[in-house]
A and B are shown apart, each in its own frame.
Chain A
Amino acid sequence: DVVMTQSPLSLPVTLGQPASISCRSSQSLVHSDGNTYLSWFQQRPGQSPRRLIYRVSNRDSGVPDRFSGSGSGTDFTLKISRVEAEDVGVYYCMQATHWPPWTFGQGTKVEIK
């Protein structure tokens, strides 16, 4: 199975400042169809996960444009350009290129300093 490794696991941020989360996979996530099936999810306290980004850099409907995804191959990044209070929660990367199974990163907890 593909192992997804996130860093950092805890990210204290100042409101209005940028934040960045890294996700690395144990093998390339480029599918034979040419797509890279790497997604990012946000889980606010007490809520279900919500997908923010799919196929590396595509924002889901309703996701603020302060969230952006980038990367290729085995290295990916989720960036929040200016952190707001509602961004507090745990963020997960997930690969669906080599599935089954989907595999998730350990999660990065974003909190306000």
Chain B
Amino acid sequence: EVQLVESGGGLVKPGGSLRLSCAASGFTFSNAWMNWIRQAPGKGLEWVGRIKSKTDGGTTDYAAPVKGRFTISRDDSKNTLYLQMNSLKTEDTAVYYCTTSAYWGRGTLVTVSS
């Protein structure tokens, strides 16, 4: 059974940092292009960024609102995806999901507030 389990969310002050993790199982993680999607309270879905598989170059791309502040990485030996979030803003408050598109985690809530 495919599972994606996000963790690391919480309350952080504006300007602070947080690192989210996504533990994957049930599929060949190392071959997967992985994405982070977020959903602000009561709003729609917003793509945050993507990391390709290492065999496809392992490169990353980011949405304009987070570029330069967020960094996606992966550890294929641990089947884990990461999202390092720096210089957080109140508008980054959202549930963050990791996904391959076909598979989604349950999400982890990040609240940026003073």
- List the interface of chain A (C-beta within 8 A of B): 39, 41, 43, 48-51, 54, 60, 90, 92, 94, 96, 99-107
Contact = CB atoms under 8 A, between A and B. Distances in A.
B97 A49 contact: yes
Contact of B44 (A60, A101, A106): A106
B81 to A, nearest CB: 15
Interface of B, secondary structure class, is: strand
Nearest to A102: B47
A96 B99 CA distance: 13
Given A48-B104, A60-B102, 9 more contacts: A41-B45, A43-B45, A48-B97, A48-B105, A92-B45, A94-B45, A99-B50, A101-B63, A107-B44
B104 A49 contact: yes
Contact of A49 (B45, B49, B63): B45
Interface string B72-114: 0000000000000000000000000101011011110000000
Contact of B104 (A50, A99, A104, A106): A50
